[in-house]
Amino acid sequence: MIFIILAVVALLVVLVILSYNGLVRRRNQVDNAWSQVDVQLKRRLDLIPNLVESVKGYAAHEKTTLEAVINARNAAMAAAPGPGAQGQADNVLSGALRQLFALSEAYPDLKANQNFLALQEELTSTESRVAYARQFYNDAVLGYHNKLDTFPTVLVAKMGNFPHREFFEAEDAARTAPTVKF
């Protein structure tokens, strides 16, 4: 009889250890995924000043659009860490960049400028990387939440202080095309 009790206790201890370790792995995966998003967002922020300088010479009288991009970049750099604040700043920046690229359509010389085209291509590539990193992050958060909310891991999660994480979400304004007036 004592062996049965010891076996049940040992099984419970193993179950708790496996659940805790699984939660730690998922939490670390979420942290790693967020780091990847952060790296790509910083890469994009580093490209923007060069892009703005390229546009300045061709579209000097489009000062408000250029200022909007610069202000959005500064706000993104100053945003609090974390998916909520970064997501909000990222949405504003994406809208300003869409307006900047729409501007290039009105200036054939700018559109043909090799420096501008190279920067635009690099930024487009970075945007794809940002989108992939966001998706990877959200997938990691989903896996973490699924692990947190399933039995018996939910019991270990409550004892081990494993909080839910924010998803990286786009605002409604980021889903619409900008209007550019000339």
- The domain segmentation of the chain, as residue ranges, is 15-175
Burial of 15 (0-12, 13-18, 19+ CB in 10 A): middle
Q: Return d(Cα 146, Cα 154) in angstroms, integer.
A: 10
**What is the band of 109 on the pLDDT scale with cuts at 50, 70, 90?**
confident
User: Which CATH number applies to 15-175?
Assistant: 1.20.1440.20
Is pLDDT of 112 > 80? no
Q: Return d(Cα 128, Cα 126) in angstroms, integer.
A: 5
Q: Return d(Cα 179, Cα 103) in angstroms, integer.
A: 11
Task: Look at residue 117 in the predicted model and tell me its pLDDT.
Answer: 80
Is pLDDT of 92 > 60? yes
What's the mean pLDDT in 131-137? 94
What's the mean pLDDT in 108-132? 82
Task: Look at residue 13 in the predicted model and tell me its pLDDT.
Answer: 94
Name the residue with higher pLDDT: 103 or 82.
Answer: 82
CB 127 within 8 A of CB 109: no
Name the pTM for this structure.
0.75
**What is the band of 179 on the pLDDT scale with cuts at 50, 70, 90?**
very low
**What is the band of 51 on the pLDDT scale with cuts at 50, 70, 90?**
confident
CA distance from start to end of the chain? 86
Ranking 66-70, 143-147, 171-175 by mean pLDDT, the lowest is 171-175
Task: Look at residue 153 in the predicted model and tell me its pLDDT.
Answer: 92
CA 130 from chain centre, in angstroms, equals: 6
**What is the band of 25 on the pLDDT scale with cuts at 50, 70, 90?**
very high
